[in-house]
Amino acid sequence: MNDAIKRSILRWIHIVFSIPMIGYVYSPFKELPSYAPVVRFVSIPVLVLTGLWMWKGHVLRRLISKRST
């Protein structure tokens, strides 16, 4: 799998997991308790991890490759 495909997959994961957060922000106030656990414990951690991986993934890959040798 080449780097372009990996970036595309990460971007789509990032976009798909941002949808519940958009629903959380724009939903009526009485529906917030049903969205809160999904957004707090699933959506935001996935967004943070994919965002950091897309931003600084090359540094992490370099550290992992140096450690394995």
How confident is the model over 2-57, as pLDDT tens digits?
A: 888 989 999 999 999 999 888 888 888 887 888 888 889 999 999 999 999 999 98
Does the pLDDT value for residue 63 go beyond 90? no
In the block, tokens 């997959």 appear at 9
Per the confidence metrics, is the pTM higher than 0.85? no
Does the pLDDT value for residue 67 go beyond 80? no
User: Sorting pLDDT into bands at 50, 70 and 90, what band is 1?
Assistant: confident
